[in-house]
Structure 1
Amino acid sequence: MKTKNRLLCTLLVLLALTPSVACSESTDDAHMEWWRDARFGMFIYWGLYSVAGGEWKGVDYGKEQGGASAEWLMRSAKISKEEYRDTLAPKFNPTNFDAAEWVSIAKGAGMKYMVITSKHHDGFCLFDTEATDFNVMDATPFKRDIIKELAEQCETQGLRFGVYYSQFKDWRHRSPGGVLSNEEYLELVEKNLDELLSNYGDMAVLWFDVGGNNVIEADRQGARVAAECRHLQPPLQPPGAGGTAQVRRL
């Protein structure tokens, strides 16, 4: 049932019974033991799309598009990047957000880790970044680093923490449709990863999404991203496409 007060986030519980994990060059996967043992975690989708809740100008795109996810609203409703930002960013002000409470709920339910969308396909970042002003600190009235607050609480309460990051698909920044060339966009991705892997402690999970139709380009970008991850946090596994969990030893 719909309500006027839409949920700002969608919580997806991951029952990691048979997790899909990218292969590394090494056959030794002892660092994966914690992931196999954890089996139960929280995956949080949260961004500007949460404000709209799947609706745009009276149309429910979840129904119209055969159940399309709310985070795909910008593409489903064919919203320009200017209108998307100007309409939704000023409304993103979740003053009741309490990282300590979220982590406590997850831990109390028996979950072993938490993963949240640091940047989804709309290009909006839930963390403080210098790579783009399309982020929670610069574009919204909230002006709090959500990723940092959750990372700190996970460390305090003993829950493993990780982030989802859309490294290939970005409707705001990446050409076509964006303003950056592919090379410039890769530099944005690498800057984002530098910030996420340098400023938020150890990452238990990096959940990359998604590949593209151009296999050569995807492989080239994947190689650069992999090199960046290994440089900043060496135990990290190489990134893959299609929502594959990337797990490191903590």
Structure 2
Amino acid sequence: MEAVDLRLALGGRTVLDGLTLAAERGRTTALLGPNGAGKTTFIRCCTGVLEPDAGTVRIGGQAVGRALAGGRVGVMPQDSGAWSGIRPLEMLRHLAGLHASPLPVDALAERLGLHELARTPYRRLSGGQKQAVNLAGALVGRPELVFLDEPTAGMDPHTRRAVWALLRELRAAGTTVLITTHAMDEAAELADRVHIIDAGRVRVSGTVEELAADGRSLEQVFLDHTTSRIRP
């Protein structure tokens, strides 16, 4: 996946300001940035939800619409109110039915602890439980590329570690993964490459080892290259 010079203004505010980055095939790429930096907007441009004012996105050399139509892309949003009344396994079976060779629903649900939620409508799940359902929905179609927007937000440590293990397995199987996260340990554990963005631009990129080569932690590198929205 390659995005080049993406620009987008929403409500009179510049959200993406020449953002350029790539997610290497079969690797995990982490996108870090403060709230409002443009991370979710970037994913929406990469998945056809928003049309950038300028710039291009190519997925495996194809335009976004064509890649999506081919079932090559999975997307995990931060929340999915569209599924409000449906139960988790019903949702997964519906999504699985849209793909030619989906993952086995029961096995995926077992990995993410969803069987115990089988009778609970999506709207009544906790934040972490919704995230687990959203993740399963993004993966059930065996995508070649998956976008995960804060995949472990609200999860307890056990579930978080289980998700990490699953994402490592996806990478080992050749899936391209792009995650946004505020958890520096998550990025350090999972990412082959990290892009730190602020105000709609990439400020610094590299492997965790490259970014921390001078002895700074990844969090300190983040703080040094981004602007706080909170006044001390």
Give the TM bin, normalised by the shorter chain.
Answer: 0.3 to 0.5
Say which structure is richer in strand: 2
Instruction: Give the TM-score normalised by structure 2.
Output: 0.36
Q: Bigger relative contact order, structure 1 or 2, given CA contacts below 8 A and separation 6+?
A: 2
